[in-house]
Structure 1
Amino acid sequence: MRSKTVKVKYHLPSKGAVAHVVIDAIGLKVYGEVEWKTRKYGKDKRHLWCKLHLTVDMFTHEVIATEVSLVSVGDNEILPTLLNPLRRKDTASQC
Structure 2
Amino acid sequence: MRSKTVKVKYRLPNQGAVFHFVIYATDLNVYDKYQWKTRKYGKETGCIWRKLHLAVDISIYKVIAAEVNLASVGDTEVLPIFLNLL
Q: What band does the TM-score fall into relative to the shorter chain?
A: 0.7 to 0.9
Q: Which 4+ residue blocks in structure 1 deviate beyond 4 angstroms?
A: 6-11
Counterpart in 2 of 1:22? 22
Alignment RMSD? 2.4
Asked if the contact 1:55/1:82 (under 8 Å) is kept, the reply is yes
Instruction: Report Cα offsets for 1:32-74 as digits up to 9, x if no partner.
Output: 2242221122141511110000001001122221110010222
Number of residue equivalences: 84
Whole-angstrom distance in 2 between the partners of 1:20 and 1:80? 15
Whole-angstrom distance in 1 between the partners of 2:75 and 2:53? 8
Counterpart in 2 of 1:90? none
SS at match of 2:18: coil
Instruction: Report Cα offsets for 1:20-39 as digits up to 9, x if no partner.
Output: 10111000110122422211
Structure 1 residues not aligned, in runs of 5+: 87-95
Whole-angstrom distance in 2 between the partners of 1:8 and 1:54? 10
Percent identity reads 51
Counterpart in 2 of 1:12? 13
TM-score using structure 2 length: 0.77
TM-score using structure 1 length: 0.71
Whole-angstrom distance in 2 between the partners of 1:51 and 1:9? 14
Amino acid at match of 1:64: I
Per the TM alignment, residue 6 of structure 1 is displaced from its structure 2 partner at its CA by 6.3
Q: Report the structure, 1 or 2, having the larger strand content.
A: 2
